[in-house]
Structure 1
Amino acid sequence: MYFSDGQYFELTLKQKISYFFISLLIISIGNGISIAAQLGAAPWSASAVNLSLTTGQPIFLFLTIEALLAVVINAFLVDKVNWFKFFGNIIFGLLFSFLVSQTAKLMSGSVGSLPLIGKLVVDFIGIWMVGVGISVIQRANFVLHPLDSLTNLARFKFFHGSAPLGQFSNFIVAISISLICWLISGKIDSVGIGTAYSFFFQGNNIAWGDRHLFKNLLHIDPTKIGG
């Protein structure tokens, strides 16, 4: 939904596709560079890193599994399943998983060689990019990453539209996964100051994106339309 000159407009397919790719790139690159900084990634990315560390399997595998599980949960939270968005969420999740794992791999050398303060700046920028990208793609309401769709559903279904509370509830599960991995393996990675920043302030980053980036692009309640 778009607001301009006192009127509300439905987004065209071209606009939705444009917002889709803009958001996908912002979110994927943000996650990738925060993983490469090794000072704490967004909680779901950190959980995939720690599952990989514990099992020896690639990060891509666990990013994909998390996305597919979120698709199933989303289907139970909506009044009616939108099958286009159902399969679109899967496609987004697969593209996202590939781009994040590749970005982290490509950037690990250059970002890893930075001094501590440089890594911290990159980490915070990456996590901020994730929040801003989530804001755009939630409002475009075309195809979301399944975990972002889950956050958006929780935001409106349980928390009266509060972005911070919706994000907070989502992240509790992700951080719990990393802690379980630590208890099993005795090792933990990608959990640190960046994760704490994401946990407590990502909802605010999303809300900032709502107000300042493509600000005429409006939220609608996803529980009423499915997907």
Structure 2
Amino acid sequence: MYYLNGDYYELTLKQKLSYFFISLTIISFGNGLSIAAAMGAAPWSAAAVNLSNITHLPTMLFLAIEAIFAAAVNLLLVDHIDWHRAAGNMVFGLLFSVFVAEFANFFQPFIVGLPLIIKILIDLIGIWAIGVGISIIQRTNFVMHPLDGLTNLARFKFFHGSAPLGQISNFIVAVSISLVCWLVSGKILGYGIGTLYCFFLQGNNIAWGDQHLFKHLLHIDPTKL
């Protein structure tokens, strides 16, 4: 739904699809940058990297598994199950897994030899881009990555609409997975300044996107759909 010139309107399918691909590209781009910079990925991406390290299976596989896990939790948290939306969220999550891997593989050769401060800056830009993309897709209320859907549900169901608290509650699970991997392997990968920035400030990035990008798009409480 969006607000324009004093009236409320439902988004058309064409508009929803446009915002869908804009969001998917921005979120995947940001994750790819942060993984390639290796200065600290978003917590769920870092969890996938650590699971890949201890199992020697592709990171993309665990990104997909995380999407499936989050989709299942989302179904448990809503009062009414919209199977079409759930299927769409899974499509988003699986496309995201592929896009992130492709972006990371593309950027890595260009970033690996850069000075440390430039890598940190690239990483922070990537994390910021993820938050901006999440803001857009949540307000479009079409389909989104199941993990972002989980954040949105937690935001309104448990934290009175607070984006920062909803995001942190989501990330605690991802960090716990990485800590278990660290206990198994003796090392932890994908963590750094970017992860800290993401953990504590990603909710603020989402809130910033709500206020400054596509401002006509409105947030709808997913627990009331």
Interval of TM-score (by shorter of Structure 1 and Structure 2): over 0.9
1:115 alignment partner in structure 2: 115
Q: Given residue 182 of structure 1, which amino acid in structure 2 is its aligned partner? A: W
Q: How far apart, in 1, do the equivalents of 2:102 and 2:56 lie?
A: 17
2:9 alignment partner in structure 1: 9
Which 10-residue stretch deviates more, 93-102 or 104-113? 104-113
Q: How far apart, in 2, do the equivalents of 1:113 and 1:95 lie?
A: 29
Distance apart, 1:203 and its partner CA: 0.1
1:52 alignment partner in structure 2: 52
User: Is 1:135 aligned to residue 158 of structure 2?
Assistant: no
Deviations 1:105-131 (A, max 9, x none): 121111111110110010000000000
Distance apart, 1:103 and its partner CA: 1.1
2:154 alignment partner in structure 1: 154
2:177 alignment partner in structure 1: 177
Deviations 1:119-164 (A, max 9, x none): 0010000000000000000000000100000000000000000000
Q: Secondary structure of the residue that 1:41 maps to in structure 2?
A: coil
2:41 alignment partner in structure 1: 41
Q: Given residue 92 of structure 2, which amino acid in structure 1 is its aligned partner? A: F
Q: Secondary structure of the residue that 1:180 maps to in structure 2?
A: helix
Q: Given residue 183 of structure 2, which amino acid in structure 1 is its aligned partner? A: L
Q: How far apart, in 2, do the equivalents of 1:177 and 1:191 lie?
A: 13
TM-score normalised according to structure 2 size? 0.99
Q: How far apart, in 1, do the equivalents of 2:53 and 2:105 lie?
A: 15
Deviations 1:34-84 (A, max 9, x none): 000001000000100110011100001100000001111100111101111
Q: Given residue 10 of structure 2, which amino acid in structure 1 is its aligned partner? A: E
1:87 alignment partner in structure 2: 87
Distance apart, 1:101 and its partner CA: 1.1
Structure 1 vs Structure 2 CA RMSD = 0.6
Distance apart, 1:5 and its partner CA: 0.4
Q: Secondary structure of the residue that 1:113 maps to in structure 2?
A: coil
Q: Secondary structure of the residue that 2:64 maps to in structure 1?
A: helix
Q: Given residue 174 of structure 2, which amino acid in structure 1 is its aligned partner? A: A
Distance apart, 1:187 and its partner CA: 1.6
Distance apart, 1:224 and its partner CA: 1.2
Distance apart, 1:206 and its partner CA: 0.1
Q: Secondary structure of the residue that 1:215 maps to in structure 2?
A: coil
Q: Secondary structure of the residue that 1:191 maps to in structure 2?
A: coil
For structure 2, the residue ranges without an aligned partner over 5 or more in a row are none
Q: How far apart, in 1, do the equivalents of 2:88 and 2:50 lie?
A: 27
TM-score normalised according to structure 1 size? 0.98
Q: Given residue 177 of structure 1, which amino acid in structure 2 is its aligned partner? A: I
User: Is 1:96 aligned to residue 96 of structure 2?
Assistant: yes
> Which segments of structure 1 move beyond 2 Å, counting only runs of 4 or more?
none
For structure 1, the residue ranges without an aligned partner over 5 or more in a row are none
Q: How far apart, in 2, do the equivalents of 1:59 and 1:106 lie?
A: 15
Q: How far apart, in 2, do the equivalents of 1:137 and 1:149 lie?
A: 9
Q: Given residue 77 of structure 1, which amino acid in structure 2 is its aligned partner? A: L
Number of residue-to-residue matches in the alignment: 225
Q: How far apart, in 2, do the equivalents of 1:47 and 1:129 lie?
A: 19
